[in-house]
Amino acid sequence: MNVKTKDKIATGVFYAIAVLIVIILAGLLGYILVKGVPQLSWKFLTTPPQSFQAGGGIGPEIWNSFYMLIITMLISVPISLGAGIYMAEYARKNWITDLIRTTIEVLSSLPSIVVGLFGFLVFVIQMGWSFSVISGALTLTIFNLPLLIRVVEEALNAIPNTQREAGLALGLSRWETITRVLVPAALPAIITGVILAAGRVFGEAAALIFTAGQSTPILDFTDWNPMNPASPLNIFRPAETLAVHIWKINGEGIMPDAQAVSDGASAVLILSVLLFNILARLLGKVVYKRMTSS
């Protein structure tokens, strides 16, 4: 068998694997959407859930999921960006930085249930915040920081040194070179990492069961005072997310239409993740064009 034949066989195998993966993903998404989309309605998307009666919705759970996502990313993205820039551009290569990188790798491989128990002990018990939005958001921040830090560091390390030297040669300071040259060049990879981290946040359930809780109060969407216990913006209230709600329904739901609610909520979760990914990539392209054109 000559080299060209082997190359064709290997190429065909790789194409077959790729097609198989696409078929599996498409089948999984199609199965969820085919069962869940018929259950969707405006009432289902806006009304609160029912514990014993049929006809409940997932309105508060949708709000809690996006609210948790926004707070988590507002905390984790600046921290990870600063840490990644320090590790890539300022930290000297020695045993301390090697230990930090090893620690980050270990933390990124921790099961979410372990991180959830840590958040339960620290934020729920020790800090006295009980089951709340802030407890869940800080726990998810710990869960996502290792991934985001590594993404930022690797994105900056992938940029050729010639771009650093060019910025310094033009009279830019080191910080100006980082903010005006390196970060815009690494922005596509950083945005991809942020999207992956956001997807983990939106679909996470295990860590939030112990920190954000499995219930949510009746929210008053006419009152946006964060100090009001019924306000949607209150960060010290319990906040059952969509993923936790799906887990709870399938585990202990006793309403007559539990299966229909679970199917509909699963479809909303999938569609929300897809929509978020598309919007995040479009926003990233706009920001990238503005940063590179300025």
Domain that residue 25 falls in: 1-39
Indicate the pTM of the whole model. Answer: 0.86
Q: Are both 22 and 72 inside the same structural domain?
A: no
pLDDT in tens, 192-223: 888 888 888 888 888 999 999 888 888 888 88
Q: Quick check: 32 pLDDT over 80? A: yes
Q: Check which CATH number belongs to the domain holding 120 and give it.
A: 1.10.3720.10
- Rounded Cα–Cα distance for residues 96 and 94 (Å): 5
The DSSP-derived string for 14-72 is HHHHHHHHHHHHHHHHHHHHHHHGGG--HHHHHSPP-SSSS----HHHHHHHHHHHHHH
Please indicate, yes or no, whether residues 21 and 49 belong to a single structural domain of this protein: no
Same domain, 126 and 198: yes
Q: Residue 162's CB: how many other CB atoms inside 10 A?
A: 9
pLDDT digits 0-9 by tens, 215-265: 888 888 888 888 888 888 899 999 999 999 998 888 877 788 888 888 999
SS3 state of residue 172: coil
Query: In this predicted model, what pLDDT tens digit does every residue of 265-283 receive, in sequence order?
Result: 999 998 888 887 787 777 7
**Number of structural domains in the chain:** 2
User: Beta-carbon neighbour count of residue 199 at 10 Å?
Assistant: 17
12 shares a domain with 112: no
Same domain, 69 and 179: yes
Say yes or no: 23 and 137 in one domain.
no
